[in-house]
Amino acid sequence: MIFNSHSPEETQKIAADLAHKIIKIKKGAIIALEGELGAGKTVFVKGFAKALGIKSKIKSPTFVLMKKYQVSEDINLYHLDCYRVKDEKDLKIPEMKEIMTMSHNIVLIEWAERIRKILPKKFISVHIDHVSENERKISIT
């Protein structure tokens, strides 16, 4: 699916729609976010988290690598930012494999291309491209 977004609010709406689809099927998901610096990956995560009812202020965990948010009693949202990670060997999160394999977890990974080797076979790819200063092309596969 390809979407054109003309504002951060539109990007968040696209993310919210994806979040609702994932929650509806009652399964976890790995969402690999890719795109240039400033493309809107964190904006996408904010819209996704808000749609799940998360009230916390969402900031990219660039320095702590990962933040965990409880969506419900049995669903957790993990937000990773791999900008400072060179590759999967540089990702120092011991429980990462367990987090990605638990069927009720939703994991959003910014700069996912840097750890592609450890992503499961099935994941959702969200690629965000700059079209202009205010327009983004969002490809979800």
Mean pLDDT of 77-106: 88
Mean pLDDT of 85-95: 84
Phi–psi pair at 12, nearest 5 degrees:
-65, -35
Largest CA distance in the chain: 41
Q: Is the pLDDT of residue 1 over 90?
A: yes
Our CA dihedral for 29, 58, 47, 41, rounded to 10 degrees, sits at: -70
Q: Is the pLDDT of residue 92 over 80?
A: no
pLDDT > 90 fraction of the chain, expressed in percent and rounded: 70
Tell me the sheet residues that pair with 90.
none
The contacts found for 64-73 with CB under 8 angstroms, 24 or more apart, are 65/91, 65/92, 65/93, 66/93, 71/106
Q: What is the tens place of the pLDDT at every residue in 4-62?
A: 999 999 999 999 999 999 988 877 899 999 999 999 999 999 999 999 999 998 988 87
Q: Is the pLDDT of residue 102 over 90?
A: no
Measured in residues, the chain has a length of 141
Mean pLDDT of 78-94: 88
pTM for the model stands at 0.93
